[in-house]
Amino acid sequence: MMKQEYRTALIAGAPSQLARELALWLGEKGVRVYVAARDPEELEPYLARARDSGAQLIPVELDTTRVESARERILALDEECGGLDLVVAAGMYEETSARNFPWESAHHLLQINVTGTVALLSAVLPRMLKRGRGHLVGISSLAAYRGLARRSAYSGSKAFISNFMESLRAELWNTPLRITCVYPGHLRNHHAVRAHPEPFALEEKDAAARMGRAILQGKARCALPWQPALVMRLMQVIPGALFDRLARHMR
């Protein structure tokens, strides 16, 4: 794998605190990071931390549910900064109950996790290919490995991201571009009040640092924490009938 320098990065993560922690981590490594949000004022706590640590974080107003305007903004930003070296597309988490399916919430989640991710990454892909450098990162989830109860829209959207990134990597293997898919599990800040806490849940700063190291190393995949990642990999190979019984009790 050729060494690749990262001067500029764009991180679009909807309300994802993990994505913003990743932006801070990269900024502290000397990367000029553009952090996208529908409301840039939401980023102020992270911008304050960046100022204290010397990281260069630049807020960008971006709504990936408005696909055409979002793509135009990304291309303009790519032009302004002399070419984005790294683009990370995260997303959002929300449970969906099959017994009272919330279509509007599910539709919004799919717009962000699926349409928004593809719009973001595909916008800069042709330019990266032309420049002969660049790194695209999609944030999937351990929930992408198998369909989980109460997460039908979320698991489905992340399974799409997993296959989308894998297909890009398969086609672009002989180009200088790097393609990474990250599979984070439950994070402690997100699940502190859950009735069934995850014993191996990571703090968001720790998870962001692990993700950041994997990205800078050019890894194709990064699943964390490793303990639940191993469990979910095993779930992929067990018989469907056995998985159906186990999935009823998974939280």
Angle at CA of residue 46, ends 44 and 52, nearest 5°? 105
Residue 83, by phi and psi: left (phi above 0), alpha (psi -120 to 50) or beta?
Answer: left
Rounded Cα–Cα distance for residues 123 and 69 (Å):
11
Residue pair 214/193 in contact (Cβ under 8 Å)? The answer is no
Q: Other C-beta atoms within 10 Å of 59: how many?
A: 17
Of the residues 6, 34, 154, 183, only one is catalytic, namely: 154
CA distances from 91 to 5, 17, 19, 128, 170 (A): 26, 10, 9, 22, 23
Active-site residue, 154 included: yes
- For residue 225, cis peptide bond before it (omega within 30 degrees of 0): yes
Q: In terms of C-beta density within 10 A (0-12 exposed, 13-18 middle, 19 or more buried), how is residue 52 classed?
A: exposed
Helices (H), the chain: 17-28, 44-53, 67-80, 103-110, 117-131, 152-171, 204-216, 226-237, 240-247
Where in the sequence numbering do the catalytic residues fall? 154
